[in-house]
Structure 1
């Protein structure tokens, strides 16, 4: 298998993994957004309050419930959603394109390979930023629901604790941790995409440089090889005739 076919096969595999990882970002985020009624839990602030709230439980007595002062900015969740959707679309399109190139034994042009490197590097930084923001936002929300880690349960266990909010918090930790792991995996895949795109650019550049030399070398070989296969001796230089 030639070098360009190995690179195409590796790129095709990375595109397929990128498609699957992007779906693992988009689907849990959509489920979490539906459970939270369109609100973003990332970077949300609040506190726990203990009071007698008969309307919450239908029974008398003191209960502890979460009071959300401010929900997180929607852009924090939308940024991760954008990276996931773009990864799904790009992985599907480029995966099919790589399969077509493998079947046709063809590769990108030099300019197309250069643009692929630039695009991969740009989305790599976007994906890394989205992963970092989501990790910080989830840590902030966990700090809120555990009351600064003073509650007798962890953030993972808190999703089974009633918050007495108007949203469904029964699976927020499962959804957001899956999104977090998938986003970091998407970032790693975009790093692999950038490396593979650079290797394909280098390979295309090497072929572009060596290709113009081949016709010239063929002409030189044909010029010094006669039809019988024996090398043609070089012609002696012409001796100038001196007229007296």
Structure 2
């Protein structure tokens, strides 16, 4: 199998993997948004308050300010775009493999540029989600002052008006999937560069080789014709001398 088809096949495999990983980002975040009634737990600020009014000390988590919705929407957008783009480009790559086509030089350059841009976007969304989840876990565990971890806090009543029984599992799944998506976009960028380089070298080297071939043929023609001219020159001089 030639290099062009190998690169195209690898790109098709990466596009195919992008679809389920993108969905693994979107679905947990959607479930978490539904459980939290549209609120974003990332970067939320709160504190624990102890209530002694009932005679028994009861701790309750008070959320002073919920996180910005853009923090959750940013990660959701990265997952949705990855899934849709992977589905479209995967079908396109399969079509190219079946037909034996390849992208033009300009199309390969646009694909590389898009891959680099979305790689930066996906990396930013991954960092945002990781830092936001860490901030929420610090709030839930009172900065590790509680006797339970962030994962164990799912089974503990937080006395909030939202469903918190699976927030850690959902956000952790989205976090891991989003980092995997970032790695896939890095693979996208590398494969796009290799395909661009392959197309560029193929399109540039062909005219250069043709030009060098023409120059070599022209030089060989001159080399072959020069002794013939030199051989005829003494004959012409000899003929002129005899004529005089």
TM-score class normalised by the smaller sequence: 0.7 to 0.9
Over the residues paired in the alignment, what is the CA RMSD in angstroms?
Answer: 2.6
Change in Cα spacing, 1:34 to 1:197, as seen in structure 2 (3 Å) is same
CA shift digits 1:124-163 (9 cap, x unpaired): 0110010001100000000000011011100000011101
Matches of residues 81-230 of structure 1 in structure 2 within 5 Å?
A: 81-213=76-208
Tell me how far apart the structure 1 counterparts of residues 205 and 7 of structure 2 sit (CA, whole Å): 19
The TM-score with structure 2 as length reference comes to 0.87
Q: How many residues align?
A: 232
Residues 45-76 of structure 1, C-alpha deviation per residue, up to 9 Å, x if partnerless? Answer: 1111121577xxxxx74422110000000000
Structure 1 residues 152-189: Cα deviation after superposition (integer angstroms, max 9, x where no partner)? 10000001110111100000000000011011100000
1:76 and 1:186 mapped to 2: Cα distance? 17
Indicate the structure with greater helix content. Answer: 2
**Runs of 5+ unmatched residues, structure 2:** none
1:237 aligns with 2:229: yes
Unaligned runs of 5+ in 1: 55-59, 224-232
Deviations for 1:218-238, whole angstroms, at most 9, x for unmatched residues? Answer: 878999xxxxxxxxx944338
Q: What is the CA–CA distance in structure 2 between the aligned matches of 1:219 and 1:208, rounded to whole Å?
A: 18
Q: Take 2:175 and 2:74, find their aligned partners in 1: how far apart are those partners?
A: 13
**Separation in structure 1 between the aligned mates of residue 83 and residue 160 of structure 2, nearest angstrom:** 33
Cα offset, 1:205, TM superposition = 0.3
Q: 1:51 to 1:199 in 2, by over 3 A?
A: same
